[in-house]
Every structure is written in structure tokens, then in C-alpha cells.
Amino acid sequence: MKVQLILATKVKGVITITPEKSLQDAAALLTQHGIGAVVVVNPASQLIGILSERDIIREMAQNPQLSSQTVDQVMTQTVITGTPEDDIYSIAHLMTEHRFRHLPILEDGNLIGMISIGDIMKAQRDMYRGEVNTLEMQLLADDD
């Protein structure tokens, strides 16, 4: 299974934020879209970081005065990215091992989407459900 499979049904694309925005803006964006992370982009729409709930929580633990902070002060700057051709199993393994939950997807250097660990879980769940359904149906056919 490829990443493209997940992106195909998420055509609305990826939610982004610019680095000078406040953490309050970022938190509002996360809440508005019901997501766990935003990609941080420069004016040329290039990926320069990722800001997740976890980044905000980590900062909150150290600095209760969050409102004055900007996105680029808190975001993760070393971002692992994927491509539509990447294998979902490899990404599931990577997320588990490196303990992250969001992967921006680039194509020819352009940001085209983001997949979350929830997307991966759903794709795997649907695949297993499909296989079980198919096998059950064939077993039942044997009984006829």
C-alpha cells in the first residue's frame, strides 16, 4: 500500500501556517480543523518545520507564557518527509520507532499533503477488514 492511497481521499490538502504567527494562532488552527499538527511554510510555500500538539505541550511545560511565542520558536525544524510512492508499512514502522505522528508528503519538492498515524491506522484497519471479509466469504462458499 502506498501513501498515495491515503492522499487520494484527502484532496483538500494540508493545513499550513507561517513561522511568524503566534502559538495562539496555531492552536486555533489545530482546533478549527480538528488536527494534531500543522506544517510550517515560508512565503514560497516551502516546508521549513512542523508544529504539533506535542511541541506546544512541551513548550507549555517550560514556559507558561505561551502567547508571546511565535511558531518558529517552538516548531520542530528537522522534519522527516515522505512521498506518494512511499510504502505505508514502512511509514508505520518509522512513526512507531521515532515516536512521531504526522508526516508531510512532498512531490517534486512541493508540499502536497500530510498523513497522520490515524490515517495509517485506518488504511491498515480497512485492509485487514477487507481481507477478513474476503476470506470469510470464500469459507462460507465452501459450505454451500
Partner 1 sequence: MSPIGSETNPLRVAIIGAGPTGFYAAGHLLDQKKIVVELDMFERLPTPFGLVRYGVAPDHQKIKSVTKVFDKIASNPRFRFYGNVELGQHLSVAELCQFYHQIIYTTGAQTDKRMGIPGEDLQGSHPATEFVAWYNGHPDFRDYQFDLSQESVAVVGVGNVAVDVARILCRTREELLKTDIADYALEALSQSRVKEVHILGRRGPAQAAFTNPEVKELGEMADTDAFTLADEVKLDPLSEAAMAASADRATARKVEILQSYAHRQPTGKSRRLMLRFLVSPLELTGNEQGQVTAMKLVQNELYATESGSLRPRATDRYETLPVGLVFRSIGYNGVPLPDVPFHHKWGVILNQSGRVVDETHQQPVVGQYTAGWIKRGPSGVIGTNKPDALETVECMLADLAEGVTLQPENSSPDAAAAFIAQKQPNYFSYADWLKVDEIEIARGQAVGRPRIKFVMAEEMAAAIGKPLK
Give 58 or 125: the residue with its C-beta nearer to partner 1.
125
* CA atoms of 36 and 142, how far apart (whole Å): 46
Binding to partner 1 (CB under 8 A): which residues in 30-89?
80-87, 89
Element (H, E) at 104: strand 102-107
CA dihedral 9, 108, 76, 33 (to 10 degrees): -30
Binding to partner 1 (CB under 8 A): which residues in 115-144?
125-127, 129-134, 137-138, 140-142, 144
Give 11 or 57: the residue with its C-beta nearer to partner 1.
11
Least Å distance, CB 49 to partner 1, is: 16
Element (H, E) at 96: helix 88-98
Least Å distance, CB 128 to partner 1, is: 9
Retrieve residue 117's grid coordinates.
498515524
* Residues 5/113, Cβ–Cβ less than 8 Å: no
**Contact residues for partner 1, defined by CB under 8 A:** 1-2, 4-5, 7-13, 80-87, 89-91, 93-94, 103, 125-127, 129-134, 137-138, 140-142, 144
